[in-house]
Structure 1
Amino acid sequence: MPQSLRRQVLVALAVVLIAVLALVQSVDSVAEHRDGGRDGRAARPPVAAVSPALERPQLFDGRMFVAYYGTVGTPVLGVLGEAAPWKAAARVEKAAAPFRRAGLKPQPVFELIVTIADRHPGPDGDYNHDVPAVAVRRWIAAARQSGALLVLDVQPGRADFPSVAKRWASALADPNVSLALDPEWRMHGGQVPGRTIGSTTGWEINLTSRWLQDFVVAHHLPQKLFVVHQFRRDMIRGIDIVRDRPDLAEIQHVDGFGTPGQKLATYRAVARPDLFRMGFKLFYDEDIRRLSAQQVMRIRPRVDFVSFQ
């Protein structure tokens, strides 16, 4: 081939190669913009990339979580107050036994109210008080010895959820201890606990879950339960913005009581399985024809956490 012709062929190939590279770069740029977050920042990581949180054991592995609910020393707020921690462990183990699913043993849980909403303002004017830390430590020890998990339930009164949750940081540093928010007792303005059904926002839930997520990461802790109670839609305003946190197993716990029909109507009215795993409460006194374990396990959207009060 003459040298002049060879040169023309090489130039033509170079032009084609440059065009192909430009086209690939353009396609990658479009994909990056399309796959980026809503704020238009960096593209998502490759599909093969795995969050460090997902490399650790996940709490939702097919088991049913079965909880006893209440507080220290009084049965008025739930069944945990009816017995000492070691006796409560035996009771919740017995209650959990029928909830075996797919051959998996149910996971017993203590859900202990550690910040209780009050009808009076108290020294801080926030309409709540904490149970003694020494009592909480006894429940932590009982949970660890019995193989149960402990969930700290907070009723903030006129305080906010993040500030109350942070008061329990020392307990939450235990790998076996998780957190629950109870918006029924989150007051605003001049509201008083017990006179008004409280509420929170998706924004406040996100602030709390972000703090707990960062706490888990900073202290190298395993995944924690993050429970949000609800029995009316208006108890959580802006629920659509609630964020998923990889280090938290997030549960929307539906607390309606009454007949089976009333309970299921409440559940279906508020359930958001697109945002949470689902929880369901059974009341020993308030429920009429209390649902059996088999009936609870047939509920759809599927229930992964059930508690007794």
Structure 2
Amino acid sequence: MHLYPTNRPALLMIAMLALPLALAGCKDNKPTASTAAAQTVPQGQPSSAKAAPATTQTTEAPAAAAQPTSPAFDAHSSAKKAKGAKGKAAAAPKTSYRAGEDPDFAAAKGWPVKYPAPLPGSILPQKRIVAYYGNPLSKRMGALGEYQKDDMLQRLKREVGKWQAADPSHPVQPALHLIAVVAQGDPGKAGLYRMIMPDKIINDVYSWAKSINAIMFIDIQTGHDNIRNVLPRFEWILKNPDVHLGIDPEFNLIKSGKKPGTKIGTYDAADINYASGYLKELVKKYNIPPKVFIVHRFTRNGVTNAKNIQLRPEVQIVMNMDGWGAPWLKRDSYKDYVVAEPVQFTGFKLFYHNDTKKGDALLTPKEVLLLQPKPLYIQYQ
């Protein structure tokens, strides 16, 4: 039983992000042949350790009404207990879960999924990634750009410490998640409603990441461009072993032809398989460890045909629930759009401002860790 409804589309809130005007000009998975030797590894548990019991949240049963203490009542009660002991034992009360926290629901949907055994140098599932997301040219797109560099890095370190304390079994890998291609409300010179960040900006953020032993993600919002045209542009940075990829279906609007910010976009499994295949070739070409590949999702149509997403040893795919709102809504979205359609690993985004602007407290690491499966990628915006 879920204590929260699992489908409230009328209440769904969407965080639409854009650079300031100053910038306007600037599952049942179907494994591939390579997964023949796949092993089942719970995404929230290091592959070298035994799976821990699922964390559950129970609803306390109401206290029994007070009973008389007369000898006659006690004798009667004892007799009934003795008689009941010879019959069937009373059924234990059923545990209640909030949306997204029910291990039985997750198991029924296919968790833990079967995926290729992690290659040497893989980050997941041995570690948990905790990332700051955004763009240094905008204070409105996330924590990465909201705070001055040194302050931002210190804040990230504090979040990393909280997650390490909440789950000591998973070492935390800090990360900076840079929006390197930003969707735009205007078509721009190319007519593609997107702006590619200068290499200098990318290199600056990369140097910040290296200064704290963090990894970096290149995040792509394609606008009206095609991921097949944009992704190869970043081989020069993705060839580094500590640089990974994220793509955002919300801002892929080729199919609808709408302007970014006016409609939610979508990616199909074919697009995700293209990007995954591209990363696979980079791993082989440069002899580097597997890439982590983040796919953001907070709507049902944000990713279509998810069951057809291919898993490869060279790429670790994370479906990241990146919707904002009240805790119940975020749990619902995680359950409906990530848990219900298993791919490989899961992620969860926390918004410092949008999650709390109606008076709700930001979910804590311990609260997020009640989710089943436990997210291994955490993103702060």
TM range (shorter): 0.7 to 0.9
Report 1:227-238 matches (<5 A): 227-238=294-305
Q: Which runs of 5+ in 2 are unaligned?
A: 1-29, 40-115
1:239-263 C-alpha deviation (Å, 9 max, x unpaired) = 1100112111210000121111111
Aligned residue identity for 2:267? T
Shift of residue 195, structure 1, vs aligned partner? 0.7
Task: Tell me the residue number matched to 2:369.
Answer: 297
Aligned residue identity for 2:244? S
Task: Tell me the residue number matched to 1:281.
Answer: 349
Report 1:228-267 matches (<5 A): 228-267=295-334
Q: Residues of 2 paired with 1:227 and 1:163: CA distance?
A: 19
TM-score, reference length from structure 1: 0.81
Shift of residue 291, structure 1, vs aligned partner? 0.6
Q: What percentage of aligned pairs have identical amino acids? A: 27
Q: State whether residues 64 and 305 of structure 1, in contact with CA within 8 Å, keep that contact through their aligned partners in structure 2.
A: yes
Matched, 1:149 2:215: yes
Q: SS at the partner of 1:213? A: helix
Matched, 1:208 2:275: yes
Aligned residue identity for 1:256? G
Report 1:122-271 matches (<5 A): 122-188=188-254, 189-271=256-338
Q: Which has more radius of gyration?
A: 1
Aligned residue identity for 1:72? P
Q: Residues of 2 paired with 1:88 and 1:256: CA distance?
A: 22
Structure 1 stretch displaced more, 81-90 or 137-146: 81-90
Out of 185, 194, 210, which is 1:119 matched to?
A: 185
Task: Tell me the residue number matched to 1:67.
Answer: 131
Q: Residues of 2 paired with 1:57 and 1:197: CA distance?
A: 35
Q: State whether residues 97 and 105 of structure 1, in contact with CA within 8 Å, keep that contact through their aligned partners in structure 2.
A: no
Q: State whether residues 126 and 159 of structure 1, in contact with CA within 8 Å, keep that contact through their aligned partners in structure 2.
A: yes
TM-score, reference length from structure 2: 0.66
Q: When the two structures are aligned, how many residues end up with a matched partner?
A: 269
Higher relative contact order (CA 8 A, sep 6+): 2
CA gap 1:55/1:185 in 2 versus in 1, 3 angstroms: closer
Structure with greater helix share of residues: 1
Q: State whether residues 128 and 376 of structure 2, in contact with CA within 8 Å, keep that contact through their aligned partners in structure 1.
A: yes
Q: Residues of 2 paired with 1:251 and 1:217: CA distance?
A: 20
Q: Residues of 2 paired with 1:295 and 1:135: CA distance?
A: 35
Q: State whether residues 53 and 247 of structure 1, in contact with CA within 8 Å, keep that contact through their aligned partners in structure 2.
A: no
Structure 1 stretch displaced more, 75-84 or 169-178: 75-84
